[in-house]
Structure formats: structure tokens, C-alpha cells
Amino acid sequence: MTLQLNMQSSQLSSEEISTLKEMRSRCAKNILLSTSLASSGHPGGSLSALDMLLVTYGCINHNPSNPQDQERDRVILSMGHISPGVYSTLAEFGYFTEEDFLSGFRRTGSGFPGHVERIVPGVEWDTGNLGQGLSTAVGIAHGLKIQGRSPKVITFMGDGEQQKGQISEAIRYANKYQLDNLIVIIDRNHLQICGNTDDIMPQAVREMYSSSNWNVKYLEDGHDYNSFFQAFSDSYQSPNGKPTVIVSRTVMGKGISFMENLAKYHGSPLSPEQLQKALAELKVDGQVDKWQELRSQAVKTNTIQEYVSQAPEIAMGEPILYGADTLTDNRSAYGNALLGLAEANNVEGTTLISGISCDLEGSVKMGGFHKHSPQAYIEAGIQEHHAATLAGGMASIGMVPFFSTFGVFAVSEVYNQNRLNDFNHTNVKIVATHVGLDVGEDGPTHQCIDYLGLFRNYYRSSVFMPADPNQTDRIVRYAAAMDGNVFVGMGRSKTPVITKEDGTPFFDQEYSFQPGKADWLRRGDEATIITYGALTPTVMKAWEQLSADGKKVGVLNMASLVPVDEEAILEAAATGPIVSVEDHHIDTGLGSIIALVLADNGKSVPFKRLGVKQYGGSGKPAELYRRQGLDSDSITETVQTILA
Amino acid sequence: MTLQLNMQSSQLSSEEISTLKEMRSRCAKNILLSTSLASSGHPGGSLSALDMLLVTYGCINHNPSNPQDQERDRVILSMGHISPGVYSTLAEFGYFTEEDFLSGFRRTGSGFPGHVERIVPGVEWDTGNLGQGLSTAVGIAHGLKIQGRSPKVITFMGDGEQQKGQISEAIRYANKYQLDNLIVIIDRNHLQICGNTDDIMPQAVREMYSSSNWNVKYLEDGHDYNSFFQAFSDSYQSPNGKPTVIVSRTVMGKGISFMENLAKYHGSPLSPEQLQKALAELKVDGQVDKWQELRSQAVKTNTIQEYVSQAPEIAMGEPILYGADTLTDNRSAYGNALLGLAEANNVEGTTLISGISCDLEGSVKMGGFHKHSPQAYIEAGIQEHHAATLAGGMASIGMVPFFSTFGVFAVSEVYNQNRLNDFNHTNVKIVATHVGLDVGEDGPTHQCIDYLGLFRNYYRSSVFMPADPNQTDRIVRYAAAMDGNVFVGMGRSKTPVITKEDGTPFFDQEYSFQPGKADWLRRGDEATIITYGALTPTVMKAWEQLSADGKKVGVLNMASLVPVDEEAILEAAATGPIVSVEDHHIDTGLGSIIALVLADNGKSVPFKRLGVKQYGGSGKPAELYRRQGLDSDSITETVQTILA
């Protein structure tokens, strides 16, 4: 049943063309039906891109009976709103039935959501926020190159979408890394929601690609099967060291006389009367009553594609133990651990771990990794939006990308890119080496004090904040081996090794990191200080002052913040007052998490939150901390007050 | 003392050149001294841009004795790290003394932070995160055009920075709106932190501008005073309907033999020995001991420039009252209120209110505003990063920009752009018309359920969520008139008018909105439901069910979430159990705010949070709510359980 076009031929046969035309007719019907039945959705762009979708799926190497086939070509739909066009095409190729699609489209709980999602067999990537799809495709294409694999990567994009700045970043990157396994198709219908693209935002689309050395092919008629086939098959079969973009002049609403070239059909379905008129033009019977009846029945979930983990087996390597007298920064411990992971996993022609940075290799301590695995060290330039999404794409083919830069650039700047990765169940490790006031003199624009406030809005990401070089080592190795997105944050400064009361390292050979498990650095029965990360040594100093003062106070190190150790917090609450200390916005981090645990459990204890109460300044970290009441004296005083 | 170059002349006089050389020598000394004294900072780029800074400040219209002069030209330093170059230049022009700068640079609490900030007299805009400065400048330039004012806007940018995608958005926009009052200067030294820009990320910088129809001027030697002067004064004096970029080939570390063309001096100060060698090359005495002595004394704060509000007087216009039987959406009420604000404030040649959207004019109901104030309606294209920053720039010259799009694009996508606006005390009104699961069929990528989770990380922004069209009207008018950044969010769907028990509108003629003040929609002595926004009508339905069941439950509408009404929450806690209900991530919104208030105040009551527990699906809002336990039955049941 599946159409496979013969790319050995210089043009399509008349049989192939007539098959494509039949497919188009059914798909056009289903695009119009699905959106009218749902009373919402995007028919115009779907009809615009439809011919190119059909030829593309007719050419590529894919296996509808096994959508997860590792050798399949990947198609990324960056303009996720053309889901009716995509689903109708995938139905033609046998990924599911027309009935599945039409009875379920845009219904709660069905397998056919309004913007394309991976729960639909054949869909590789959840999209919907424009401008990110190319970066995903670039990440996949680069990952495949690194691993020496042959699948091609195809991306469909709208032309309005070209306005998003992230696309210019991805274009440059694809040129730098000569990704000739990448084919981009732009549906150039010259319309976006509010009108003509030339009126909304004048843009020289083809020049944007050609000025970055891409192969640029322009088709006067993107609906002409043969010309698109020739452009596509040539790009597919004759890579020349450059990525290719096929810019196809198309018509919004193509094939329905009263829809053509009208922007309003971007996001408006046809009324029942218009639908009948359109179906008459297509000379097909829409069987509207039948579908309405099916849509009044319970939603079917049979086609929903479960998420399949792409996380590879990762060897964690030999932990590095930093002695009690070591004075180093957690960044260096990260760099050492990352090198260890490369040594354990990027061997004998296999490359599992990649390292991505944005013009900060030295600061994020990726030099050792770069030297060991030059094929997998990626300098993405000052293009964080692209880099974050790129990492997600790379993870989707079974690599483990480490993305490292300052916290502000890895989290605050790319919140929505990380969010799309979270949707897509990726396996990205973001290790930010400069977070908090600990960044110091570079000042507030560079001080990330919202990583928890931001990451807590996702549903599928973890946040780990190591307290010293030993814990950094163990957390980084753990993060590499676990499946899922992880944020690991650390300050910039050198920091002492946390020790037990006997003076030996707390995080020693016996220690292994567990998500959702806090560390009782000290036990005490009068009160508990809960902290993490850069301020743990300061809290330990306060603990010493309090001990000298005869106060028996516990210190709980909360290295795993998402998920959090509720039991430990409740244990602290059962003991007595709690003081939380964090190098983070005072209302959205650890203190807020503790408050939730207390409130949810109906517990009330004397509770004082110490954190960042205003934007930090430019100065030495110790001074910035003091100004915010985050020095050991202030902590000591707070505990003494709460105990008084 | 201040140098004023004669732009009537075709070239600089020899006196002018010798003055510039003297200034350069002092500035170079101060760049090296300041960074070495602080043991951190960015000398390389400062020396690279220095000659252009001096000529620029020599040409422009500015008034060092009154940095807030409304008619001054604006200079935006996009690469905020060249603060030593900027501060030394501003000292030359008399904004403050060399001593102020050298004794304070990068010291906690001083007026001379590591990246440029508005606390420094002469600095217009806090920067530090690359890629945003051009959008700010474009916003100022466009605002000045709209208001018919004559100042010019000059932006300095680095060349590595050109990699940021947001810059490509700003370039297109400046072309669309023909901003010929804008001059961009690119310090093209071909180096960024990790090496040569051509190696890090190949880019055709000049083509990026010329393909958007800019005037592009290239200088082979950006250190040649005359050629830069000629390019600048020509651009300044002869606007031709296009923005201008001057791309100047410069040398990192210019003027110090051993620093030139070395990337490492981007962010590394000289050692004491190197400093002496450099000072010898400059033939000046650095008086290092004197400055060290001054820097060991208490920090002086005398130069710190307080923030001066740019908010204009806004007439709130006549409120619109929606009767109890009205069924409309809050979006339409917003559109009506915005039109009312335009009618009241954009009159008789004055334009105070602008409206910015990103290809969603109809959805965000800006049509009425567009028709009334076409000069101030801005279609920014699908370029949200640029649009968000643009709004901040426009606000900085005394306009009140309303930026409207879906919540995901207005908040999640541009978190860091809004954060920079927050730093800069701007007066931007973000009104997002599609937030929460209420967005419905467009699915999770379009459902913003983190607006509170994100905005709560800022320190200077308010969040207001109206419950119905009446409250929308009042909040939008209030937001326009108050000074400061405000986020107003609303769902997409039609929603009933909230009424008193007597059936008349709750938010009636007597009502006026107050930040930090919640509304007791119903009083009850057994428990309280706290809610806001799209779910308030659902909660009112639950209240009816509970009333019918004989339960006396209060309903508290929390339209002002930042700042929050702590007293009202404590009043609820004093009454009995609390149930919070929100169309928002369950852990980072209203429930989290309530938990903080309870925990901070040592209160413990039975407390149940209802909210969004997983990414929403694609379907009808009512169904999506039900799946998350946010329908009236689930709310009723939760209250009954907590009371049982």
C-alpha cells in the first residue's frame, strides 16, 4: 500500500503522478473534514504543504509498521499547526487509518492533537512554538554525522516562521558543521495569520540561507510533483558538503477555489456549507454524518504511541575523590567528571557523550572533554536558543548531550527551548557553571538566581545542586547515566570539600547520589538549617559558630531539589524550627519548596527563609552575600533568634 | 571641558584629533587600571571600541550636567561588558570623575558595576546579556519617530554578538519601519572569547544588514578618527529613510603591543607586571598605589543615578460596565479598554499608548486600537524576543507600550527579555490573551501555565489576572496609568460576568482595582476557596453546589497575585480550611504563594491545592479541566472532603 517513489529515475512516472493525485484528493478531503469536524485547526497551510509532504514521504526511507526503526530518515515538522496535512499524509502511508485520525482529531485524550506531537506514529517531535524545528533537525543531523550513521533529516518550515531569530542561528550552525544530510523545505505561500509576509515583515528568505553557503533551490511551483521530486531527490542523493534548502512557492488553501491565497484560512476551518462546496470541488463524498457520529462516541486511544526511551547505556566511570584539604571549584570537578565519562563511553569508534558550549569552553571547563573527544565537542557560538534545542535533537537519536554555559544563558535565556525538550522527553544534561550571586563582579545580568523558579515549571526535568567537588563528581556521573533532562548548577568560585565531623570527606567512597535523597551533614535536635550548593560551606561555618555556642542544630544538604526529599523536610519539621538558606530568589526556590511541603502536610514550625531579596550587585561574592544576609554571621543570628 | 566635534566640517581639525588622542591615552590607562585594580573585567574590547566611543560622544547631542535631558541622543551599549571603555569615556565628557570610576569599579555597592547599568550617569540601559541592545535602540528610535521627536539613537555592538538570533529580528524590524534615526556601530575585531569569529561561527555580518536594505558602511580601520567621524557624521546628518550600520574593522586590545589581537584579553585584566609594561607603552604614570589606597577605603555611592520614572500621566478613560447577562471574553473587554485608553491619551498629535503584537492582531483584539491609532499600532511579526525588548525601549522614552500575544509567546518564550526590562525599571504592559488550559485545542505548546511561576522571579513586575470582563476593563485601565511592568493574563474563551448574590455585577461602578487587594466574592465561615482568572466562574458554580448542600464557604478572588493580599489569605486561614484553584502549574502559582504566606506566618490549616498537574492536552477547555480535577464537581468534592 505504501508509495515508494523511484529516486533512481530523473522524473516521476505517470503512474506515480496519478497515485500522488489520488492521495492528494483524499488528504485534501481529510484536511477539510478534520478541521470542520473539530471546529478548529489549520486547513490553509496544510493544503499548501500537502503536495510536498506526499512526495517527501514517498521518497524517504521509513517504515510505517515500525515507526521507531533506527535507520529511518527523520522528518521534523517545524510548523506544528499543519497537523491535518501531516496526519492525513501519515494515514496514506499506513501509520494509522483515516478513521483513527478523523474520529479523534483535536479531541481530549485522543492520539491526534492540534499541533503535531510524538504520540502520533510517524511524528518525531512535538512542535507548535515556531522557530525551533530547524534546530532540532540540525541536532539530529549533527548527531547522526558524529555517530557515522546514514539517515537523512528533513525539516518542513513555514515562511512566516522564518522571522524567528533562532532560525538564523541554526542556519549558521548547519553551515559551520557542513550538515549535508539535512534538507529543509520551506512552504513559501507568502501568507501568515495577519496577511502577506512581505507586509508583515519584509525578509529576504533565500539570501538568509545563501549568505551562509547553503544549497538554495527555488521552485516556482511547489505543487508541481515533478519539479519538487527532482529537487528533493537530487538533494537527497547527491550531498555536496552543504545543507540544502528547497524554497517552494506554494498557494495557501491550494486546490479549493475559494480558499486559495486567503490568510484567514491559516487557522479557520470551513463552515458546514463551505465544506460541502469544497467537497464538491474535490468530487468526493465527505460522509460528514458518519464522522460526526463516530466523534460523538468515546475517544479511542489505540494509536497513541508511547514514549520510547532513547537513552543509551552509560558507563559512569571511576569516581574521583577529592581529599578534605582540596580547594578547587565545582566547575573543575565537572570538567574532570565529563572527561571521565568521555573516556568510558566515547571509545572504539562509538560516541555517546557530546559536549556543547556557547563561546565559553574554558569557563565551563570543557577543555579536557574537547581534547579527548574532538568529534563530539561542539562550539555553538553565542547562539543559546539554537544550542538548547540542538541538544534536545541530538538526545533524540540516543546521544547524551551535555550543554554547558552560565546559568543565565542555559536557563533564563532559553526557558521555552528547554520546555520543548521537556515535552519531548529528551535526555539533555544542562550543567551551568556560573549560577547565583557567586558569579560576583559580572553583576546581576550574569547572576542566575531563578534556575529553580524556572525548572520547577516543567514536569519531566530534575534539578541537582552539588555542595562540593565530590558531590559534583558523583552527580554528574549519575546524571549522565539516568534517562531524562537534568539541570546541574554550581557557582563559579573555589569551594572547600565538605567533611564529616571527623574531618574526612562527607561525600566519600561510600557515598552514592540518589535523586530525592537529602544529606544530613550534621544532626541536631534543636533546629535544622536546610541548604544546598554554593552556600553549604557557609552554613557549615554557621553550624560551627552555633555549636561553639552550645546549640545543637542539624544541617540538611538538599542536593536533589527536583525531586525533593519530603521525608527529610518533615523530619526536620518534627525536630523544631527550620531555616532555609539559598543563593536563589527568596520566593521561588528551596524556601518555597519547603513551604509547600509544610503546608501540604499541615505542619507548622517556626520557619525563616534566607535568600536573594533583590537583584545582586557587582562585587565580590562574599560581600554580595553579606548584603543579602547570606553570610555565616547572619545565618547564625537567624538561628539564634528563631531559637530564642 | 566637554569635547564637541564640528559635524559641519568634512573632516576633523588637527586640534580635534590631538584632543581625541589625549583623551584616548587617559582612557586606555583607565581601562587597564580599572580592570587590573578590580582583578576582573574586560579590557580587550574596551580598547577596541574606545576610539569610536570618543568620536561618537564628541558628535552627539548630550548634556553631561543633565543626563536626563529629554532631547539628548540615546546611546545604547549592547555589549555591556566594555564598561571600562564606556566609563572612561563618560569620565572624559564630565559625567563623573576619573577618581569616582577608578576607586569604585566592580566594588560592591559602588556606582560602577561590571556590566553597564543605568545607575551610571550617561548610561541609558542595563545590558550584559548579549543580543538585546539593538532591540532596545530600535524601540527607542521607533518611539521617537511616533512622537515626532528629533533625538538620534546610537547602538554599539560587538561582532561575536551578531550571532544572537534576536539581532536578525531587530534588523528586519528597523527596515520595515524605516528607522533612519538609528545608527549602529559594530566593533568588528573578529575575536570573541574562544577565538576568531570566523572559526567560532562563520557569518556574513554585512550581508545580514544589506539584505534588509540598511545603509551599510564598512571602515577598514575603525581606529582612524577621520574615517569614523566622516561615516558617523554623514549618517547622523543625512538620514535617507534607512537605518545605518557602520561596521568598523578594529583591533582587540588596540594600542598595547602585547594585547593586540589576542582573544584572551576579552575578559582578562593585566597582571601588575603587565600593567606596568602597558603604562610604560602609554607613557603615563598609573599611580597604582594611590588607587589601591582609595579602593581600600569605604565605597563611595555619590555618583549613583537614581531611577527616574518615565511614566507619563495617563487618563484612564470611562470604565465600561458589562451587565450581568453579558457573555463575552476578557480579550474583547481588553480590546475595548485599550481603545478607550487610545481615545483618552492618543489625541491632538500626542501619542502615549502604543500597541505591539506578533502576527495575532485579531486574536488579541487590537483591531480597534489599530484603527484609532494606526501610527502606534505595531505589527512586529513572529519575532517575540525582539518585540519584548522593543517594548522596554519604547517605554524608556515615556510611552506606555501594550505588548499582546499568547501567554506562551509573551512570557515563556521571552523570559530573559522581560527580565532585562525588569532590571531597567520599564513601564511595559504585557497583556496575554491566551493563557492556561483555557486555550484548548491548540494543545500544550500553546497553553501557558507558568506565567506566575516565571513572573514571580522578577522583583519589579506585577501580575494581575482578571476574573471577568468588568474586572478586565478596570485592571487594564489601572495598569496603563500605574508606573511599572505589569502582566495581565486571561483565557481565550467567553466567560460570564461575576455577580453578587443579588445577581448584579460584582465589579460594578463602585469597584476600583487595587494591587495587593483580593475580592471576597462570597463570605463563608467554614472554609475558603481561593482562585482567580478563568476558573473563577467554575468556583462560583462549586460555591452554588456547596451552598445548596448547606456549606458556608467563602470565595476569595485573587486578581492581584503579585503583589498578593497576605491579609486576606490570613483571614481565610483564620476561618478554616483553604482550597486553592488555578489554571496554572500546581506547584508554582497561587497555591505556592498561599503556602509561603502560611509557612512564613506559622499558620497551619487543612489546605488543598488544585491546579495543572501535567501538561494539558488538545481538546475542549471544559474537558481538559475535568481531566485535571479543575471542574466544579471536583472542586465541590474537594471542599466537602476537607470539611468532612
Name every chain B residue with its beta carbon within 8 A of the beta carbon of A115.
442-443, 445-446, 618
Residue-by-residue DSSP string for B531-589: E-GGGHHHHHHHHHHHHHTT--EEEEE--EEES--HHHHHHHHHHS-EEEEEEEETTTS
pLDDT digits (tens, 9 = 90+) for B339-378: 999 999 999 999 999 999 999 999 999 999 999 999 999 9
Q: Is the model's pLDDT at B1 over the cut of 80?
A: no
Task: Please give, rounded to a whole number of angstroms, the shortest distance from the CA of A624 to a CA of chain B.
Answer: 7
The pLDDT score that the predictor gives to residue B637 is 98
Question: Do the Cβ atoms of A167 and B165 come within 8 Å?
Answer: yes
- Whether the CB of A178 is below 8 Å from some CB of chain B: the reply is no
Interface of B with A in 117-156 (CB under 8 A): 117, 126-131
Residues A555/A545, Cβ–Cβ less than 8 Å:
no
As given in the structure block, the three cell numbers for residue A188 are: 513559501
Listed by number, the residues of chain A in 71-110 with a beta carbon closer than 8 Å to a beta carbon of chain B are 80, 106-110
Chain B residues in contact with A164 by the CB 8 A cut-off are 165, 169, 382-383
Q: Which of the 8 DSSP states describes residue A380?
A: -
Beta bridge partners of A400: A353
Q: How far, in Å, CA of A95 to CA of B395, rounded?
A: 52
Cross-chain Cβ contact B359/A423 below 8 Å: no
Low-confidence stretches of chain A (pLDDT beneath 70): 1
Share of chain B above pLDDT 70, in %: 100
Which among B114, B412, B617 has CB closest to A442?
Answer: B114
- Per CB-CB distance under 8 Å, the chain A contacts of B127 are 445
Q: What count of CB pairs under 8 Å joins A to B?
A: 325
Summarize pLDDT for B331-348 with one digit per residue, the tens.
999 999 999 999 999 999
Chain A: give the shortest CA distance to residue B446, in Å.
Answer: 7
Minimal C-alpha gap between B198 and chain A (Å)? 9
Residue B37 Cα distances to B43, B81, B296, angstroms: 12, 16, 11
Q: Tell whether A587 is within 8 A of chain B (Cβ).
A: yes
**CA quadruple A348, A353, A359, A363: dihedral sign:** negative
State the pLDDT confidence band at B213, using cuts at 50, 70 and 90. very high
Residue A102 phi, psi dihedral angles, 5° rounding: -70, -30
Asked if the Cβ–Cβ distance from B165 to A163 is below 8 Å, we say no
Interface residue A456 vs chain B (CB under 8 A): yes
Distance CA B494, CA B620 (A): 13
Distance CA A633, CA A333 (A): 29
Chain segment B146-157, per-residue pLDDT in tens: 999 999 999 999
| Closest-CA residue of chain B to A386 | B165
Q: How far apart are CA A12 and CA B27, in angstroms?
A: 69
> Is A57 in contact with A232 (CB distance < 8 Å)?
no
Q: Mean per-residue pLDDT for B227-245? A: 97
The confidence band for B2, taking pLDDT boundaries of 50, 70 and 90, is confident
Q: A382 vs chain B: nearest CA distance in angstroms?
A: 6
Q: Does A443 lie at the interface with B, CB-CB under 8 angstroms?
A: yes
For B87: left if phi > 0, alpha if psi spans -120 to 50, otherwise beta; the answer is: alpha
Residues in chain B: 644
pLDDT digits (tens, 9 = 90+) for B555-567: 999 999 999 999 9
Burial (Cβ within 10 Å: 0-12, 13-18, ≥19) of residue B148: exposed
| CB atoms A453 and B449 under 8 Å | no
d(CA A35, CA A259): 14
Q: Is the pLDDT of residue B19 over 80?
A: yes
Residues in chain B with CB shorter than 8 Å from the CB of A592 are 592, 595-596
pLDDT(B448) > 80: yes
Tell me if chain B has a CB within 8 Å of the CB of A370. no
How far, in Å, CA of B614 to CA of A425, rounded? 13
Which of A78, A162, A570, A618 should one mutate to test binding to chain B, selecting the residue with the greatest count of B CBs within 10 A?
A618
Name chain A contacts of B380, Cβ cutoff 8 Å.
Answer: 201
Å from B451 to nearest chain A CA? 9
Which residue in A127, A441, A596 is closest to B114 by CB distance?
Answer: A441
Contact A115 B445 (CB under 8 A): yes
Q: What is the pLDDT of residue A2?
A: 80
- Which among A38, A173, A596 has CB closest to B592? A596
Cβ contacts of A207 on chain B, cutoff 8 Å: 207, 211
Cα distance from N-terminal residue to C-terminal residue, chain B: 80
What is the rounded CA–CA span in Å between residue A201 and residue A117? 29
Give the integer Cα–Cα distance in Å for B564 and B463.
9
Backbone angles phi, psi at B583, to 5 degrees: -90, 65
Residue in A128, A192, A385 nearest the CB of B382? A192
Which CA distances in Å does A330 have to A393, A468, B570? 28, 6, 42
**Structure confidence by residue, pLDDT tens digits, B453-494:** 999 999 999 999 999 999 999 999 999 999 999 999 999 999
* A572–B contact, CB cutoff 8 A: no
Cis peptide before A563 (omega within 30 of 0): yes
Q: What is the pLDDT of residue A1?
A: 52
> Shortest Cα distance from B169 to chain A (angstroms)?
6
Question: Are A172 and B201 within 8 A, CB to CB?
Answer: yes
pTM: 0.98
B307/A contact by beta carbon, under 8 A: no
